Chain A
Amino acid sequence: MSSTDLPVSTDTPDPFARTGPAPRRSRRAVDWGKYFTWLVMAWLFAPILFMIAFSFNDVQGRHNVTWQGFTLRWYEDALAYPDLTTALLNSLAIALLTMVIAGVLGSLLGLALGRYRFRGQGTTNLVMFAAISAPEVVLGAALLSLFLTMNVATGFLTILLSHVMFTVSFVAITVRARVLTLDPSLEEAARDLGATPLTTFRLVTLPMLAPAIMAGGLIAFALSIDDYIITSFVSGNVQTFPLWIWGATRVGIPPQVNVMGTLIFAIGVVLAIVNIVLARRRA
């Protein structure tokens, strides 16, 4: 993007070159870091581009790795597998509920941890840290152990309980980071002007925390909708999108999976662009 002005800047003499006491660094003609970064980006995007391209592949069998021509037919019957559609809807429902529940619980936790000093704070931090650091396979196995011991049938509810558990700490640390940067004088001003604690919270604190709460909620949503490992332990017979794709690998992935992946990616890109535009407008 800025490659056009690069040759120009190498020719312009450094304005500080003669005034500085130390020998200034010589300008490099080639910015290797840039090419390296772009190479890494290409690596990260390669599987995505493969997925998008092959959602248009006119493949005959189920071995969808070579290009055989352009077609739109997988988009036309994107919903050809009712259980795939159900799995996607399950994933969305669980992710939305996780976002709301973990968003509320995590925000309260983050607010308390960022603002107060209280007995048990160290323990709470430690438990949250452990919950974030613990490998997913351990969390999944532990939850399954609990549900087996308690004779709880695994299914939609156990997935939801588990997802809230492993996302709530992420929301809490996101909100806590924001709470720590808040200027307390704004709330003091509100109180000096006669606002009750509740009014101060509603009109001053909450709006300032809103971006962090939103970000935390989105992280919870993303973690939930993407999770395979924990979900596979606590899902019982309920299918989610990642579980369905995984199950399909045994018989060959239908091209519709590439279609759904592409559509989800497209929604993500649109959301990201909207986010950027809104941020620009605010700034």
Chain B
Amino acid sequence: MLGNPRRVEHIMGFPISVDIRATTSPLGSAVDHAFDWLREVDARFSPFRADSEVSRLNRAELTPAELSDDFIEVLAVCRRYEERSGGAFSVRLPGRGLDPCAVVKGWAVQRAAEALMDAGARRFCVNAGGDVVAAGGPWRVGIRHPDRIDQLCAVLAVEDAAVATSGRYERGDHILDGRTGEPATGLKSITVVADTLTIADTTATAAFALGADGPEWAAAQPGCEVFAVTENDRVFRSAGLPTG
């Protein structure tokens, strides 16, 4: 029916898996197009590529009037979460210029998932380096143990939802508290379940930047459920967390 229901490609420096279990029509090249879109996003939004829109904006080669609609949409999400988190979440840090990576990934993968839905995919899962969009379901989503790469610390059962995790264990102190410019402290990892990966990923990143107050803050965001592990190995679960 599907030919190749599961595929993994490496884009933006992380593995992206697409796992399709049910579709209403042959998907044809829809999966190819989803991966093409993610490669296009990398080319346009990577601060590590000199010819990306982000890099050109940072070098003042683009005026705000020349920005693409996609870019403006991403910046609007960035601003919303900067405000909501009281500045803890920030995409403008001294010495770095503008780096919207924290928003781009979830936003781009969410859009790829929506394109698969439009093509007929009904029960499928996209996992982009640990951030998940689950369509249909229920899908059993394990949460990686913050200290052990080959172990879990919780299991969720999610249906038509997105799951994103922020933590320090994979790439060191890459999340800074925008209020201080220092690496965020207080949490080992925080996982957010929300309707879209744009919301889940950005909320998880902002909550991690907030540190000890992050879990409560994230749980208070509309439609968000939270699982978090503090630096002292205590586990926070929001009341509506969909446990598996």
A and B physically associate: no
A residues within 8 Å of B by Cβ?
none
B residues within 8 Å of A by Cβ?
none
